[in-house]
Amino acid sequence: MIRHFVLLRFRADVSAETKSGLYEELDRLRDHVPGIVAFHGGSNVSVETDLIRGNHDAFWVDFADENARDGYLRDPKHEEIGARIVAYTQGGIDGVTVVDLRF
């Protein structure tokens, strides 16, 4: 299994509704992209505020394997949602951090 973490630094003007809508769209990719096992997303509620480094939001996607992850990354629907996320983050792509872990 691959867990694909995405830490986000959204701009201050991005509403909770917009964020929620993006997470809902990503979650719906489970019905579109083979091999997505689970999706979770939302606000960072860590009390370690000095370590958040502006990443007040995050999501992760669990994939059955690397092939499923790679298919997701190339999927046009994912690419479109990802482009909108980047447009909403501070500094564009600099407002996005990705980490993949193998289980």
Q: What is the C-alpha separation between 77 and 62, in angstroms, rounded? A: 17
Class (C level, CATH) for 2-102? alpha beta
Contact assessment for residue 76 and residue 82, using Cβ atoms and an 8 Å cutoff: no
* Per-residue tens of pLDDT for the chain, all 103 residues: 999 999 999 999 999 999 999 999 999 999 999 999 999 999 999 999 999 999 999 999 999 999 999 999 999 999 999 999 999 999 999 999 999 999 9
Measure the CA–CA gap between 27 and 23, rounded to whole angstroms.
6
* pTM for the predicted model, two decimal places: 0.94
Query: Domain map of the chain by residue range?
Result: 2-102
Return the SS3 of 15: coil
